Chains A and B, each alone.
Chain A
Amino acid sequence: MPKNEALKKVLIIGSGPIIIGQAAEFDYAGTQSCKAIREEGIECVLVNSNPATIMTDPGIADKVYLEPLTAEALAAVIERERPDGMLAGFGGQTGLNLAMELEQAGVLRKYGVRLLGVNMDSIRRAEDRNEFRQLMMEIGEPIPRSVIATSLDECTAFVREAGYPVIIRPAYTLGGTGGGIATNDGELRLLAERGMENSAIGQILLEESVAGWKEIEYEVMRDGKDNCITVCGMENFDPVGVHTGDSIVIAPIQTLRDAEYQMLRDAALRIIRSLEIEGGCNVQFALDPDTGAYIVIEVNPRVSRSSALASKAAGYPIAKLAAKIALGYSLDELKNYVTGETSACCEPTLDYCVVKFPKWPFDKFKTASRKLGTQMKATGEVMSISRTFESALLKAITSLEIRLDGMRAPHIMSMTDEELLAKIDFRDDERIFAIAEAMRRGRARNGTSPPFTREAIYEQTKVDRWFLSKVDRIVKMEKTLAENAINADILYEAEELGFTDNEILALSNVPREVLTDIRVYNDIFPVYKVVDTCGGEFEAVTPYYYSCFDTEDESRISEERKILVVGSGPIRIGQGIEFDYCCVQGVWAIKDLGYEAIIINNNPETVSTDFDTSDKLYFEALHIDDVMNVIKKERPEGVILQFGGQTSLNLAEALSRRGIRILGTSFASIDLAEDRQKFNELLTSLGIPTPAGRSVTDRDAAFGAVQALGYPLVVRPSYVIGGRAMQVVYSDAELMEYLDEAVSLGVDHPVLIDRYIEGKEIEVDAIADGTDILIPGIMEHVERTGVHSGDSISVYPPHSIGTDVERILTDYTERIVKALGVVGLVNIQYAYDGRDDHVIEVNPRSS
């Protein structure tokens, strides 16, 4: 069934701004679908309001409308463009909801626009709780006991029958907004009322809880001929009860027998068939580990965060193929993009283990509840690939940039038994580290006395015993490293389990030189293997690699001149998709100049980790060990750090010390810009004003600074991105509170205290080549100074500052850029108090 020739022009709905539960994965999906459509010679029109995306770049779609994602705006675009078809399944929940609205408003009918890939009935039946339950019952799929409610009375009546706990899920929301688990009347009232408010139609679902069951997901695809495949099965580390976006997820499924695997696969296929989806779909199941019974939890009739993960985990580009299917192709007419030869109608087989670990924003929001439940709280995620689960898990933890080199979290290791048990019970973002500590204590006490026996930990957490045994294997290795003189065998074993150098050094207490000697003498370095969808059965043409400790190295090193781009890691507050945008742009420019562009990154949601983007992709942690291993292997001419935000910039010092050539702004310049003291001196010597300020490492110094500077003051920790916990303080009491609660003050964590300048905040972005400087933009903030630039409304061009002020800004910028020796991008933030421009901050990188 070849493509539908009637389609000459297709409209794609993007997903708009990044919100929790809807992040970079839709840029990836949208970009892929645009590519897939244009490959067919079909005109592609994109509507999206988010400028920090690759898909809105010139050259991805034929036409881009940067418009608000409302039915009204879309109707206007449709009227103007008259597309033949519309793809709504690539813009997350936003896209589907808009399609529903446009359909209901009669817009699609009026202009003869065909909805491609998913039809109204499918959306309704998958999204409307009642219709979904009806459908599951029709096709004989088990679902939990439940009731649809629009009032509190209906809820209490249900609970009287089914008992607590119950799960509350609002209809038509994303990321489970407003949902939760109620264990008593008070929680029920709170959650039910909030849920009804959050639901677009004031409707919630109350259902019996299957908390503690295994949570299993399948990514399924179906074409117009009713051919179906599963791309990837995934198993959650956390049992049912934690939103899958907040769960550690493992691919492929680890603890199901084939019969169980096939039982759920069959169910997933029955479901996608009953919904008549042409494209991709995500199905979530709960499986009772004691009986093998299962229920269907949820279905997403579109590409999702999980499909981005599955695409990268399996090497199978779901969005691209879903777009082709929506255009009319069938799976068996399409080729597997990784092998280039074999059919897309196959089920990828993995010969490695993948771990996805969520990235939470709790470091930025100190007062937020860290408890995890049915409402997603993670802003992003990392993925890691290895040949063992232990190694994949440790690589993922290293990728998170949470200041941990392994599973030993000091503040958890210092807890009392009671605190530790309470921590595990509470089920927050750090639970896996608490579990590891429980294992540690269990081992220290010979694993026989409760509460830290493996079985007791299982009973408390219901995390599958297989996962627990793997955590235990890591803990055992910690002990081995601590208790034995390190030798080649122990080092290899530790590396094979994913231990970082820092962790090995900390545990074994040997000097780094000794470790290096053992490593070099015995040649203990990782090798790189290819992600190929087929377990080596067919030759792969895609250059998609991961590291592991094994014998054969598959990375083919070319004779080309190469440049390595270091990516930006997981999406977090203050470091979003914009850095991925920069990395991808950088990769394209490098290719255009005739170099081989190599990227290293660990975020599965992004375009940069699409194996189509660079000449070579290394899916790795952005830890110095991992980056150096890639550099050692590839020997690039240089490394570019300025696109990956603070993540890549933080590597500047370590790489520079190892003699690696950093292309663009040098480490010395970066350091100068980031070191408060040195930078202030530089500005003083240039005669450029900056708010008086100090860097302090203890309380006395902090109050000394107050004496010298006077209130109001801006306080913030140094060397972090996104102005974590930046605050304006007006009194001693406020300063005390800040130092107590918001930061951990110390020699390694100085706090910057600056005089607060009330006025306008202005940002200047510039690019310099060492000689010339171009200033493409001056942006004025609507909010006054003190509000972080990332939280301010920016206006471009500036509207209320005069040309004299602009001239001063230009002059200052030029002088700073020259003095710093910036080569590449720089962002400078100024405060204008009505008399002069004061430099607040300089970021020698993309921003």
Chain B
Amino acid sequence: MEGMIYLEGGALYRGMGFGASRTNVGELVFNTSMTGYQGILTDPSYKGQIINMTYPLIGNYGVSDIDWQSEFIHAFGLVTRDISFRPSNRCSVMTINDWLAGQGVPGVYYVDTRAIAKRIRKEGTVKCVISTEGIPRETAARLLSETNLRCDYMREAGTKDVQHFPGGGKRVAILDFGIKRNIITSMTNRDCDVFLFPYDSEPERIMAVRPDGLFLSNGPGDPQEATRGIETTRAFLGKLPIFGICMGHQVLALAVGGSTYKLKFGHRGANHGVRDLETDRSVITSQNHSYAVEAAGVERQGMIVTHVNLNDGTVEGMRHRELPIFSVQYHPEGSPGPNDSEYLFDRFLSLMEGGRNDA
């Protein structure tokens, strides 16, 4: 099977195809994680995106029953240097090839993924056609120009109905923009009683379960498109402890009156250093975001920037000066990535128990 990706601007990369026989148009991004492709592909935050993995050997340990971060693959395509048709791991139940085929997702391998990543670094994330159907260049070019990329996928990436994950401890209401499973697990492991709400739920509907805290999840797209989620969040400011991750962090910024902007090519990987300005300690984080919070905007609204990215100084975390509200841009739940920041879930728990935000 042939495979190709065609980029806005005319660049064409030809290689081999795998997975589904299909053509998709999406935003081409790169991820630098060396492990965790299954978690990445099933992370709803990648909805609408075609992922170029910089690590060249993908599929080595196959696909398992336990590493899903949601029900299915959200990414629109996968681009790699090489794939393993004979994976090896005790948990592997199928190959990445069979998995993508079954999920209807096209993959391209045998292309220079490093060259592609460098192009994205220089030119920014870019609109892209991925095809394993052997379409001619002209067809790809036409498809590309006809398609407008959506940036409101958070409206459909999350749950449509309220879901309940029972627990005996604190009750958490989650506003779901496209949540990763391990965030829920991180809460239930702490005995939380978790209610998952659609991102656009009315505040009253959420209050009805009498939550102890509100959690804002990760999700795909431009946070400014999550208007109803932003409004709902605003209604809870000062009423409940709030914790946000990734898009949840951006939504929180917008809810308090701050602003967000799009990064040239975002942060996607498991190796970014982040400094906690309040403890003067640094950790390695898992990241996946295109947008970032503008520091000055949130600082004017009573927030304190608590975490910064060690490489480019962007905002990685913030908290309210008085209220029990905090958020981080990165992923303390890992999956994939380091578990170094798991303690943030404990901090949320302690806030729900009435603890101080600056502790």
Binding site for B on A (CB under 8 A): 225-230, 252-259, 261-262, 265-266, 269, 289-292, 330-332, 341-343, 345-353, 387-389, 464-466, 469, 529, 534-539, 550-552
Check if A536 sits within 8 Å of B90, measured CB to CB.
no
Check if A349 sits within 8 Å of B115, measured CB to CB.
no
5 tightest CB-CB pairs across the interface, nearest first?
A: A535-B54, A258-B36, A343-B310, A552-B115, A345-B273
Which residue of the partner chain, among A226, A257, A349, contacts B32 with CB atoms under 8 Å? A349
Q: Does B210 contact A (CB under 8 A)?
A: no
Check if A351 sits within 8 Å of B88, measured CB to CB.
no
CB distance from A155 to the nearest CB of B (A): 34
Query: Once the chains are docked, how many angstroms separate the CA of A226 from the CA of B310?
Result: 17
Q: A253-B35, A351-B113, A535-B117 are in contact. Are A331 and B282 (CB under 8 A)?
A: yes
- B:37-58 near A, CB below 8 Å: 38-39, 54-57
Check if B35 sits within 8 Å of A256, measured CB to CB.
yes
Q: Does B299 contact A (CB under 8 A)?
A: no
Query: Once the chains are docked, how many angstroms separate the CA of A352 from the CA of B81?
Result: 10
Which residue of the partner chain, among B115, B117, B281, contacts A227 with CB atoms under 8 Å? B281
Query: Once the chains are docked, how many angstroms separate the CA of A536 from the CA of B121?
Result: 8
CB distance from B28 to the nearest CB of A (A): 14
Can you name 11 A-B residue pairings with CB atoms under 8 Å?
A256-B35, A257-B67, A258-B334, A291-B90, A292-B90, A388-B82, A466-B87, A535-B30, A535-B32, A535-B269, A538-B121
Query: Once the chains are docked, how many angstroms separate the CA of A534 from the CA of B113?
Result: 13
Which residue of the partner chain, among A389, A538, A550, contacts B115 with CB atoms under 8 Å? A550
Of the stretches B98-106, B211-219, B242-250, B335-343, the one at the interface is B335-343
Q: Does B141 contact A (CB under 8 A)?
A: no
Check if B32 sits within 8 Å of A259, measured CB to CB.
no
Which residue of the partner chain, among B57, B67, B272, B283, contacts A254 with CB atoms under 8 Å? B57
Query: Once the chains are docked, how many angstroms separate the CA of A252 from the CA of B53?
Result: 15
Q: Does B123 contact A (CB under 8 A)?
A: no
- B122 (CB) vs chain A CBs: closest residue: A539
- B273 (CB) vs chain A CBs: closest residue: A345
Check if B275 sits within 8 Å of A332, measured CB to CB.
yes
How many residues does chain B have at the interface if contact means C-beta atoms less than 8 Å apart?
55
List the B side residues contacting A342 at CB < 8 Å. Answer: 310-311
Check if A225 sits within 8 Å of B280, measured CB to CB.
yes
Q: Does B271 contact A (CB under 8 A)?
A: yes
Question: Given A534-B271, A537-B269, 14 more contacts at CB 8 Å?
Answer: A229-B284, A252-B55, A255-B61, A257-B61, A258-B39, A261-B35, A292-B91, A331-B282, A343-B311, A346-B271, A536-B117, A536-B118, A538-B121, A550-B115
Q: Does B86 contact A (CB under 8 A)?
A: yes
Which residue of the partner chain, among A343, A388, A465, A534, contacts B88 with CB atoms under 8 Å? A465
Check if A350 sits within 8 Å of B282, measured CB to CB.
no
Query: Once the chains are docked, how many angstroms separate the CA of A529 from the CA of B283?
Result: 29
CB distance from B144 to the nearest CB of A (A): 21
Query: Once the chains are docked, how many angstroms separate the CA of A350 from the CA of B269?
Result: 12
Q: A342-B310, A388-B56, A536-B54 are in contact. Are A258 and B272 (CB under 8 A)?
A: no
B interface majority secondary structure: loop
Q: A258-B35, A346-B310 are in contact. Are A227 and B283 (CB under 8 A)?
A: yes
- B335 (CB) vs chain A CBs: closest residue: A258
List the B side residues contacting A350 at CB < 8 Å. Answer: 34, 55
Check if B112 sits within 8 Å of A550, measured CB to CB.
yes
Which residue of the partner chain, among B36, B57, B272, B336, contacts A388 with CB atoms under 8 Å? B57
Q: Determine which residue in B66, B67, B82 has the highest number of CB atoms from chain A within 10 A of its CB, and name it.
A: B82
Check if A347 sits within 8 Å of B284, measured CB to CB.
yes
Check if B89 sits within 8 Å of A255, measured CB to CB.
yes
Check if A351 sits within 8 Å of B35, measured CB to CB.
no
Check if A537 sits within 8 Å of B67, measured CB to CB.
no
Check if A262 sits within 8 Å of B117, measured CB to CB.
no
Q: A350-B55, A550-B115, A551-B115 are in contact. Are A257 and B271 (CB under 8 A)?
A: no
- A533 (CB) vs chain B CBs: closest residue: B271
List the B side residues contacting A266 at CB < 8 Å. Answer: 339
Q: A535-B269, A550-B114, A552-B118 are in contact. Are A262 and B338 (CB under 8 A)?
A: yes
List the B side residues contacting A536 at CB < 8 Å. Answer: 30, 32, 54, 114, 117-118, 121
List the B side residues contacting A226 at CB < 8 Å. Answer: 281
- A227 (CB) vs chain B CBs: closest residue: B282
Query: Once the chains are docked, how many angstroms separate the CA of A30 from the CA of B118?
Result: 35
Query: Once the chains are docked, how many angstroms separate the CA of A330 from the CA of B283?
Result: 12
List the B side residues contacting A290 at CB < 8 Å. Answer: 90
Query: Once the chains are docked, how many angstroms separate the CA of A466 from the CA of B92?
Result: 12
Query: Once the chains are docked, how many angstroms separate the CA of A465 from the CA of B340?
Result: 31
Check if B112 sits within 8 Å of A551, measured CB to CB.
yes
Query: Once the chains are docked, how many angstroms separate the CA of A322 from the CA of B39?
Result: 33
Q: A253-B35, A332-B282, A343-B310 are in contact. Are A258 and B54 (CB under 8 A)?
A: no
List the B side residues contacting A345 at CB < 8 Å. Answer: 273, 275, 282, 284, 310
List the B side residues contacting A534 at CB < 8 Å. Answer: 32, 271
Query: Once the chains are docked, how many angstroms separate the CA of A818 from the CA of B51?
Result: 65
List the B side residues contacting A341 at CB < 8 Å. Answer: 311
Q: Does B201 contact A (CB under 8 A)?
A: no
Check if A225 sits within 8 Å of B113, measured CB to CB.
no
List the A side residues contacting B108 at CB < 8 Å. Answer: none
CB distance from A827 to the nearest CB of B (A): 44
List the A side residues contacting B310 at CB < 8 Å. Answer: 332, 342-343, 345-346
Which residue of the partner chain, among A347, A353, A539, A552, contacts B271 with CB atoms under 8 Å? A347
CB distance from A689 to the nearest CB of B (A): 60
Q: Does B147 contact A (CB under 8 A)?
A: no
Check if B271 sits within 8 Å of A349, measured CB to CB.
yes
List the A side residues contacting B269 at CB < 8 Å. Answer: 349, 535, 537
Query: Once the chains are docked, how many angstroms separate the CA of A186 from the CA of B117?
Result: 59
Check if B81 sits within 8 Å of A538, measured CB to CB.
no
- B:185-206 near A, CB below 8 Å: none
Q: A225-B280, A551-B115 are in contact. Are A343 and B84 (CB under 8 A)?
A: no
Q: Does B260 contact A (CB under 8 A)?
A: no
Check if A255 sits within 8 Å of B60, measured CB to CB.
yes
Check if A262 sits within 8 Å of B115, measured CB to CB.
no
Query: Once the chains are docked, how many angstroms separate the CA of A408 from the CA of B310?
Result: 49
